[in-house]
Structure 1
Amino acid sequence: MVERLSGKVAMVTGIGSGMGRQVALRFAAEGAEVLGCDIDADAAKATVEAAAEAGTPIDSVQPVDLTVSGDVRRWVDVARERFGRADVLVNAGAIAPRTAPSGEMDFETQWRPTIAGEVDLVFLACNEAWPLLRASGRASIINLASVSAFRGSRQMAMLAHCAGKGAVLSMTKQLAVDGGPHGIRANTISPGLVRSAMTAEAEAVDGDRAEAILARTLLGRIGVPDDVAWCAVYLASDESSWVTGGNFPVDGGVLAV
């Protein structure tokens, strides 16, 4: 089979776990040269080892705090020195949102860390990598929004998370506008509930919360990281060369009803 990402240089954030890990592994399996990063050095190294064992090696810079401009610049500098360009940038990394009901959220310890961990890190990566994406001339930015960019939740306190993911959705549309003349495409994937350490910690994938979410999921199951990774492969590949400014729900049908 032809490798769908052969010859492409892909930068992927948050490769230590969840969707970022699976995107990095799937991209490598599809022939891309992957440079990842993560704030958790041990987790990133584990992903690198898993890729090597599979015969599809990737490389990584760690630890990288994606909310710190100097850390992001250090990661991008490695890509610049090694490849001179970036054909794909996937912003999969995120910090677990701080939750509190409306009217009870603390600005400094809950609101601001959530916005930094969902919006600032996307901006910083796109901003620093922009010259490398321009150098490609056929680049693809893939940002992870969420179904929470479109709807609230009765199961969890999601005020800052909804705001953050809504910002990612809108930011990506402007990135598509700005990138068009330079051959840079920009799209979002909006996952529904996906199994990960972060969603397990929030008690969202088991118990009453999960049952309530499953009740409105048309395909009757919680997502897995590979569901998102396959969509990212499409958006990273030349198959989507005329696709930009779009949003792709990967949610089992939650947004359909």
Structure 2
Amino acid sequence: MQIRFDNKVVLLTGGGGGIGRASALAFASAGAKVAVTDRDVAAGEETTAQVKALGAEALFIAADVMQAAQVQAMVAQVVAHFGRLDCAFNNAGIEEEHMRLADCEEATFDRIMGVNVKGVWLCMKYQIAQMLAQGGGAIVNTASVAGLVGAPKMSAYSASKHAVIGLTKSAAVEYGRKGIRVNAVCPGVIRTVMLERAVQADPKVAATVAGAHPIGRIGEPDEVAAAVLWLSSDASSFVTGLAHTVDGGLTSI
């Protein structure tokens, strides 16, 4: 089955690279009109340029998902430009800790929860309001396998991703009868900037995490993007409240 998004409008946060960029390009290739957002203007504009190079309509919006006014304005700008909002991929997120819980600084905890939890909550708040007004839509949030199991030396990150899954399931129940589906993707270790930072800190990490996945390798951003597109499409029309793993079997161990 070929998944298409012709004449559909898609909003992605954290679109400046990695899973966000791969998803933006995948949506564009499937016919969508794509709004890319990121705090990193240069990275976001580069993704937008790549989307346009595929022949798709695209818009870049610089936004901090922790700021309610910016998120509200972001959604309003998408609707003003494209006329509606059919799908949203809330992908913006950070991880800044590789330490035991008692060693994590309060400021680090607050920053992780601010972006990963408050950011997703704010995005859904304003996206859902628009989708209610127009009669439906689909939302996908980026959680993590760390939202399904414990993650040593990443307690705040793990807590934030458990919270994303809780927000996802609650919203799915609340708005299912209003034509709004809400799901989450839970990636394993994916070849992104986050992984690059971890490898720079400890070169042994790459081989260790690759071997931890039963499939025997690290995942690619395109593989997560494929799941995001399916969850956003009519092909998954009876799917909501799902925390969908894309983890090479990691959580099956």
Residue 139 of structure 1: aligned partner: 137
AA aligned to 1:20 is G
Separation in structure 1 between the aligned mates of residue 243 and residue 167 of structure 2, nearest angstrom? 12
Structure 2: segments with no counterpart, 5+ residues:
none
Q: Give the one of 170, 175, 191 matched to 1:195.
A: 191
- Tell me how many residue pairs correspond in the alignment: 253
The percent of aligned pairs where both chains have the same amino acid is 33
Separation in structure 2 between the aligned mates of residue 181 and residue 72 of structure 1, nearest angstrom? 25
Separation in structure 2 between the aligned mates of residue 135 and residue 8 of structure 1, nearest angstrom? 16
Superposition deviation, residue 89 in structure 1: 0.9
Relative to structure 1, is the Cα distance of residues 85 and 194 closer, same or farther in structure 2, using a 3 angstrom cutoff? same
Separation in structure 2 between the aligned mates of residue 9 and residue 132 of structure 1, nearest angstrom? 12
Separation in structure 2 between the aligned mates of residue 251 and residue 206 of structure 1, nearest angstrom? 22
Local SS of the residue matching 1:70 = helix
Q: Give the one of 99, 107, 116 matched to 2:114.
A: 116
Residue 35 of structure 1: aligned partner: 35
Local SS of the residue matching 1:234 = helix
Contact 2:78–2:85, Cα closer than 8 Å, also in 1:
yes
Superposition deviation, residue 229 in structure 1: 0.4
Separation in structure 1 between the aligned mates of residue 83 and residue 200 of structure 2, nearest angstrom? 41
Superposition deviation, residue 3 in structure 1: 5.6
Separation in structure 2 between the aligned mates of residue 152 and residue 3 of structure 1, nearest angstrom? 34
Separation in structure 2 between the aligned mates of residue 173 and residue 2 of structure 1, nearest angstrom? 27
TM-score (norm. length: structure 1): 0.92
Residue 89 of structure 1: aligned partner: 88
Superposition deviation, residue 78 in structure 1: 0.5
- For 1:135-181, what per-residue CA distance to the aligned partner results, in whole angstroms no more than 9, with x for missing partners? 34331110011000122235xx1010100000001110001011112
Relative to structure 1, is the Cα distance of residues 11 and 59 closer, same or farther in structure 2, using a 3 angstrom cutoff? same
Which shifted more, 24-33 or 205-214?
Answer: 205-214
Separation in structure 1 between the aligned mates of residue 67 and residue 14 of structure 2, nearest angstrom? 14
Contact 1:141–1:184, Cα closer than 8 Å, also in 2:
yes
Contact 1:98–1:113, Cα closer than 8 Å, also in 2:
no
The Cα RMSD (Å) is 1.8
Structure 1: segments with no counterpart, 5+ residues:
none
Separation in structure 2 between the aligned mates of residue 40 and residue 112 of structure 1, nearest angstrom? 20
Residue 160 of structure 1: aligned partner: 156
